[in-house]
Structure 1
Amino acid sequence: CAVVVLEVLLVGKSLWLLVQKRKSLRDFACRCRYFVSWWSHDQSKFSREEQRVINSRVRQARAVLAASVNNYFIVLWLLVCVLAQVSIFRGVSRFMSAQFTWHNVISLAFFSASFFVPSLLRPSTLDVWYVCVMIIVTSLLAPTITSPAQSLLVVVVSSALVRIPALLGCTRPWLVLSCEIGLAVVSRMRATDDADNSFESNADVGAAQTTLWSLLLVSAAALAVQRSLQNREAQALLISNTTTELSAATSLLELTCDAVVELDGDLQLTAPGADIASMLLKDPSLSLQGKCFTEFVATSDEAERAEQLLRGSDKGVHTRAFHTRLVDSCSSKFRTEVFHVSYSRLGGQTRHLLGLRDFTDQASLAGRRAVDSTVARGAFELEPHQGQGNGKDLHSLQSRSEAQVNRLEDTRHLVFVQIDMDSLQVVTASVRTPFFVGKPLDEIFGEAEMNFFQQVWQQVHVLDQRNELATKELTVTSLYLLWKSQEEVCVSGRIEVTKQSDGRLGFLFCFEEPDAERSAASTYAVTALEVMLLGKILWMAGQRRQSLMAFWRRCRSCTSWCSPDHSKFSQEEVRVIKSRVRQARAELAVSVNSYLLACWGFACLTVQVNMSLGSPRWMSPQFSWLCAIHLCFFGVGFLAPHVLRPGTLDMWYLCVVMLIALTISPMATTKVQSTQVAMASFAVVRVPAVLVCTRPWLVIVCEMSLAAITQVRALNGAYSAESYTSYESSQLNLGQTTLWSFMLVCLASIAVERSWHSREAQGLLISNATTELSAATSLLELTCDAVVELDGDLQLTAPGADIASLLLKDPSLSLQGKCFTEFVATSDEAERAEQLLRGSDQGVHTGAFHTRLVDSCSSKFRTEVFHVSYSRLAGQTRHLLGLRDFTDQASLAGRRAVDSTVARGAFELEPHEGQGNGKDLHSLQSRFEAQVNRLEDTQHLVFVQIDMDSLQVVTASVRTPFFAGKPLDEIFGEAEMNFFQQVWQQVQVLDQRNELATKELTVTSLYLQWGFKEVCVSGRIEVTKQSDGRLGFLFCFEEPDVERSAASTPRSQTRSRPSSRSSRRSTPRGHSMSSGLKRWRAENALSL
């Protein structure tokens, strides 16, 4: 009646869960499908080659396990044979028949054969080996070997000692199920031979129940082992691929940055940092691990500002770039561009991945998106509105080496204003700022700024008298002026001293155009980039992995299993691992509790059926009540699931062990029944229960208690002489069985604990590696226009929205499967690029080369390709490419990059072929703002103001006085003069349409007379408007290297490890001009 009440409660609880809690049948179907999916591991995320690798490694792992299991069987059967020999020598009656003894000898010989000849256990012979093991176990049930009572014990003992370990060597779960069904059929056939109805004599009900549970347990174990091995190898493949991709991304970063460092939450270096040590001119062998990054910043104010920028991001992955100044071991301060990615690891620690680039002599890669952490202090010590000249005193014109002159980053947004310092009036200004033309300086600048200009003007006169003016430059930041509708803005720029044809000096003030809309657009672009990166991280975070355990770790002593190796993790990560292990055990405890509830429910149902049918029962009343107590205990965990919490799991396990101890005590079972119950509980209850206990030492203590109770019961009481022939009453065999069950349960507990910790630790590792890979990828996307991955056939492995935008294609158009060489300009260049990409052997190799790509408008543009090739674990070759359009910019890789266009030349027309050298009206072609070519260097720019009405140079920079007052035909050739005339006609047309303010012109490969030499320069033409309304040209171009290379040496060349990003090329765009070819390019930048 008590059992019926419990069953009614359980049925009611089940109905309440289905109806009141609205647990849909669809969830239940999903769980069922998940159970069925154990038959076939989900390999949809892997390619066929990777699936073959996984299956091959699973078979290899099973071969290694089979060798260990075979050795275990040798020890087991050798112990049985030794005990038989001892009994024979002592003349003691034995429970084994002669056939049973010879069967053991043959079994020992079979396992010894694989021990002496290990090559017999190969992946291809594992299933044959397993079938032979099952034949050995099944043959034990033959009537000539064991009695009917012994056959039931063989089924129970073999399920734990033989059949479960043996399935580790079977590669096909369906074969395990087939063999188990065959063994169950043979066992049932033996059960029908016994007419006794006692449990000891293998009654039909008890035998059927034992056979059924052993069949289900072994089959479930086979499925679990198969899924576990496949999961382990799949996770190992994932972590290998992720690690290789991370290594490739890091290698690509090292090509674009001088140093790549990782900081912890306290902004301290997490690695020795040999790259940053070389960058700071320190000994590379000196470890900087634990040093705070702000210690390397030039001043305390800039360090504070840099720290604010680094700590400004919330949790997640955030990217940004900013500028600061670092100080090296020689106390020299140099400008550094910092690409910053902050992310949070799974353990909760914040990490900062920094790409550092010395851009003292180069343009900024991040452009206007980068925050200048030195702006708060400015280029001068006093603020502009504090009086006393705003700090812009005589020190404002400090002499600096050419390598340390601050340079403007963007020239397409520069505004040029020519100032006549005698009349203190603006004479000429850029056409997009006509409101400056003719204005007195005091209407544009405040009193402090006027004092500053007066002091600078006095310094210019002094330097002109000393003939030192040509060697001086002035860069200013944080200068306030009135912009448009009387709005006061802060600008940064530089002052160029000019000399007119009559010898008078003047100022050409060029500064960055303040534009809130452009800065907002860049903010939106960065936000969109962060959203894309976050989506990728979320996708990658769903993957799990398990690292491969090295062979020597498998051979470590068993004691090491008790304490998992957490040396590679921090204390916070260890706490996270332990917390997740406890949480996973709590979730599994619900399933184990439900399983044990079903087992004891089936036992109670069997009692009810026997009572209803009036059949004889082998259970005593006390045993029946204990079954009801078991059912009640597990029913509480089912009715109130919140009882099973991480803090109550050990208490639950203790209760289970206490109930088992009561079951094998004299109050519930006889001496023979206690042995059988102990063996049955070993396979059905005690092994599954260790999945819940969080402390292996507690399992060992409880198992020792159960073994002691079993041995005490076996030693108490007198045995008759004939009882020695009964396996159930044999003290020797009882001790052997108890010993093996004790060892297996303890080992299972330790193995489960190690497995849980290993799984969660591997999950933490793969999450951290995935986050680091995402951070490295986001850092790459800050320095390159597009980042793509190619397979072994040089085909894109992803849709490639970045490269689609670079090629002016629809970003929604998928380029996956397209060959990269299809985007190269010519067939010869495509062939050369393919040779460079396929030139690397297996492994990870890095390189850089130059080529030309063609966009959807059939325009060819020079592209710098940063290339990293690597091999994944499955053997596939991958190529990670970073693409950067450097048509009018300096190469980051410098002279280390191979130019794949040298064989054909970069241009099609020769420099002196006539017909305007291709400088026709198409030289002013309109393109999107994103493709406007920008000059990199402003510290070496030469400014020349041209009067197109008289075709004469009116004003020039003081370092080029030979240009002032010269006619154009004495400076430029006939082709260049035709080009200027055509551009002038275009400018007049655009002026009539009021479209001139939105246009820009960039020119490359323009020949002019420099002293006694003809040189090729690149620059841009700024259209200016004078106070009388007349238009003119302000031609700014890069100073030829013929003089600069001998007068100065870039700072980066003095470093112990020269970097491709900070070393200056000996000739600008030298590869294209060395082949005797040139290209004219005049472009209009059209704002969208």
Structure 2
Amino acid sequence: MEQPAPIDDDSVPIFLAVSGFFQALCLIKLLHIAIRNRDRVASWFRSLALRSRWLVMCFSDDVKTNAEEEQWIAREVCLIRLRLARGYSYFLLIATCASVVSVQLGILQETQANAPAAFYWTILLMFVLCTVHLLFPKMLQRTTLDMFYVAIMAAAAFLLSPLCTNADGVPYMSIILLAFLRLPASSFASRASIAFTSNIATAAVVVIRAFVDWDAALCQSGSCSISRDAYFERVAIVTEVSAFFLVAGVSLSAEVILRRTVQQGRQYRQLNAATSLLRLACDAVLELDEDLCLTEHSPELAAILLRDRPGSSLAGVPFTDFVATKEEAARAEQALNKMSFEDLSASAFSTRLVDTNSSKFCTELLQVKYCKIGDTVRHLIGLREITDQESLARPKGLDATFHGDANDSSVSCPYKLLSSAEASPVGLAQEGSRCMSVKSLEGNRPRPIIYMILDMQSCTVGGASLAAASLVGTNVSELFPGRASELLQGFWEEVDRCEDASEVAVLTQKQRFFSEWLVQWSPQQADFIDGFVQVLQDADGTHQLLLHCVASARSPLSLSGISDSGRSTGARPSPSTSAQALSVLPGMPLPDVQSLH
């Protein structure tokens, strides 16, 4: 078989003129783009070293999506394919430009390679196509994406035809085209069916050439061995079939990768938004793995649990180890794991945590459950210690919520105690007492702040602010009827236990908050107060309880104080030398408390 001749002398000027013209256009356009976007180019080079990956590789199954979300995903995937196609067009521009320059040098040096002229013209045509895209980037859109892919595959099939490649060069040309055209281009084909069809055409050209003109090429070289002929036929067929399945696999994998990239990108943005919100509303934000263990150390949680010793780390510690009791830990684990999720899901519940001093406190957990790369389940937890703020969890009474135990003196959370009808010793009407609650403020009246020192040894009020000086000497159980006095007594028992363990110094740094405690200022005056209890230490080393409370705006304290006539003479002893009337202003530090004997 006669081999095709290279470019003849008459066509050389035309080839050089066409190739030189488009090279000049390409160079001018590149210089124009570089000058116009010099700041962006410089920034790109600076940030290039900081970028290690561009695509997120994930081959897990897609999650179920609805029709609207499917359309959004398809649109985003198509946009990514369009960016891939444009990037590949620029790469192909560089590759074909290098080939054209090589041909130009060969022509000028009169040392052309032994290749048909159609091969050079095809390379030049591809260079022209890429240059036109460089000049007019908008020509490559979502609607023309498949046309660009088909044009690339048609060029690959034509380069394998007898007009461009000799028979003995087909295997090498097939491998080159597989690496530079077929595999990269398969990543931006919008549908796998287009990739299959285009590659079937290319495979058909190779198989036909293997059976039609392979023998003639071998006989020209003086090697007409039938066994060798059959060997090369098998090699050509096996190579092309393998290349076909490789291209098909890349096309299908690109679909999965791009879809997961879009979904993971959206999830990453949603997770960042959720994390920002949790950091605004919570005291600590931490991440748990699928075994409910901390993925990394949380300084905020360590500070809350008094585990912030130097060198210590909470990474890998099960979160249930911080829950107060085993029963509550089981309920918290059930609340964390019970949700089935699609993409992102959120929930909220309450439980109790315990610190290193065995102090238990109510905590609200805001959970965002999501799936990381590789279908790894993660729990983003926002931890919010409940003090005098209302819980954010809805609905109330979730699985891990602690329902309260009057005998548990370690509880450090707001208490919703008995209603006035249940707890008032004078039998005030429920609605009448409710209107005295701290929740029912009227007008702009200031809420009085009262300090009281409780002598729990004698269970009496040892000192009080001037507005409540008449309370000095009152029995604690009489002043706080119902469960409030029981909780105070339980807290005092905890102080006694800490004294035996020499841990009072730590306990004095803690404040026990409460909410809506019923207080009986006098037989005719009831109220609900908020505040906190703190441990005080006298000069002789004895301990008392400091009660900081805020009464309601309608409290008698906000008007003229508590009158002694409101109680019977025997109900309260008059202040004696053993009792103190304290002049404490709101916000005054405790060392400024002075006795008014």
The TM tier, using the shorter chain, reads 0.5 to 0.7
Length-normalised TM-score, structure 2: 0.55
What is the Cα deviation at residue 708 of structure 1?
1.8
SS at match of 2:23: helix
Query: CA separation of 1:819/1:790 partners in 2, compared to 1, >3 Å: closer, same or farther?
Result: farther
What is the Cα deviation at residue 612 of structure 1?
2.1
Query: Corresponding residue for 2:428?
Result: 957
Deviations 1:958-1013 (A, max 9, x none): 79xxxxxxxxxxxxxxx999849x65x812899xxxxxxxxx99x99433799xxx
Query: Corresponding residue for 2:135?
Result: 639
Query: Corresponding residue for 1:393?
Result: none
- Which residue, 3, 22, 35 being the options, matches 1:6? 22
> Is the counterpart of residue 584 in structure 1 residue 80 in structure 2?
yes
> Is the counterpart of residue 1083 in structure 1 residue 592 in structure 2?
no
Query: Corresponding residue for 1:681?
Result: 177
SS at match of 1:1006: helix
| Aligned-partner residue type, residue 362 of structure 2 | E
Query: Corresponding residue for 1:703?
Result: 199
Deviations 1:660-716 (A, max 9, x none): 233233333333344543332122211111122111111111111112223333433
SS at match of 2:478: strand
What is the Cα deviation at residue 603 of structure 1?
1.1
Query: CA separation of 1:788/1:820 partners in 2, compared to 1, >3 Å: closer, same or farther?
Result: farther
Q: Which has the higher contact order (CA 8 A, sep 6+)?
A: 1
Query: Corresponding residue for 2:467?
Result: 987
| Aligned-partner residue type, residue 621 of structure 1 | A
Give matches, 1:250-261, under 5 Å.
none
> Is the counterpart of residue 940 in structure 1 residue 456 in structure 2?
no
Gap runs ≥5 in structure 2: 1-15, 309-319, 336-349, 431-456, 489-516, 534-542, 552-584, 588-597
Does the 8 Å contact 1:620/1:669 carry over to 2?
A: yes
- Which residue, 236, 239, 243 being the options, matches 1:734? 236
- Which residue, 350, 357, 362 being the options, matches 1:864? 362
Give matches, 1:297-376, under 5 Å.
none
Does the 8 Å contact 2:196/2:248 carry over to 1?
A: yes
Query: CA separation of 1:771/1:31 partners in 2, compared to 1, >3 Å: closer, same or farther?
Result: closer
Give matches, 1:595-606, under 5 Å.
595-606=91-102
Query: CA separation of 1:711/1:696 partners in 2, compared to 1, >3 Å: closer, same or farther?
Result: same
Give matches, 1:804-819, under 5 Å.
818=303
- Which residue, 512, 518, 531 being the options, matches 1:1019? 518
Deviations 1:290-329 (A, max 9, x none): xxxxxxxxxxxxxxxxxxxxxxxxxxxxxxxxxxxxxxxx
Question: Matched residues in 1 for 2:202 and 2:390: separation?
Answer: 82
Question: Matched residues in 1 for 2:73 and 2:379: separation?
Answer: 35
| Aligned-partner residue type, residue 1081 of structure 1 | L
What is the Cα deviation at residue 27 of structure 1?
2.6
Does the 8 Å contact 1:848/1:897 carry over to 2?
A: no
Instruction: Report the aligned-residue RMSD.
Output: 5.7
Query: Corresponding residue for 1:756?
Result: 258
Query: Corresponding residue for 1:26?
Result: 42
Question: Matched residues in 2 for 1:19 and 1:988: separation?
Answer: 80
SS at match of 1:577: helix
Question: Matched residues in 2 for 1:769 and 1:592: separation?
Answer: 32
Query: CA separation of 1:646/1:750 partners in 2, compared to 1, >3 Å: closer, same or farther?
Result: same
> Is the counterpart of residue 569 in structure 1 residue 65 in structure 2?
yes
What is the Cα deviation at residue 593 of structure 1?
0.8
Say which is worse superposed, 883-892 or 573-582, in terms of deviation: 883-892
What is the Cα deviation at residue 867 of structure 1?
7.8
Question: Matched residues in 1 for 2:270 and 2:118: separation?
Answer: 56
> Is the counterpart of residue 630 in structure 1 residue 126 in structure 2?
yes
Deviations 1:796-820 (A, max 9, x none): 95565xxxxxxxxxxxxxxx86462
Does the 8 Å contact 2:195/2:248 carry over to 1?
A: yes
Question: Matched residues in 2 for 1:570 and 1:26: separation?
Answer: 43
Query: Corresponding residue for 1:448?
Result: none
SS at match of 1:744: helix
Does the 8 Å contact 1:637/1:644 carry over to 2?
A: yes
Question: Matched residues in 2 for 1:794 and 1:656: separation?
Answer: 51
Give matches, 1:133-172, under 5 Å.
none
- Which residue, 292, 302, 305 being the options, matches 1:820? 305
Does the 8 Å contact 1:1020/1:1035 carry over to 2?
A: yes
Question: Matched residues in 2 for 1:1020 and 1:640: separation?
Answer: 81
Give matches, 1:334-483, under 5 Å.
none
Give matches, 1:452-851, under 5 Å.
546=58, 549=60, 565=62, 568-717=64-213, 719=216, 722-725=222-225, 730-764=232-266, 777=278, 781=281, 786=283, 789=286, 797=297, 800=300, 818=303, 820-821=305-306, 844=333, 848-849=351-352
Identity of aligned residues (%): 16
Question: Matched residues in 2 for 1:901 and 1:787: separation?
Answer: 22
Deviations 1:736-758 (A, max 9, x none): 32222222222222222222223
SS at match of 1:1035: strand
Deviations 1:241-285 (A, max 9, x none): xxxxxxxxxxxxxxxxxxxxxxxxxxxxxxxxxxxxxxxxxxxxx
| Aligned-partner residue type, residue 957 of structure 1 | L
Deviations 1:993-1048 (A, max 9, x none): xxxxxxx99x99433799xxx9999523679xxxxxxxx9723479xxxxxxxxxx
SS at match of 2:189: coil
Q: How many residue pairs are counted as aligned between the two chains?
A: 423
Query: Corresponding residue for 1:1034?
Result: 525
SS at match of 2:162: coil
Does the 8 Å contact 1:845/1:868 carry over to 2?
A: no
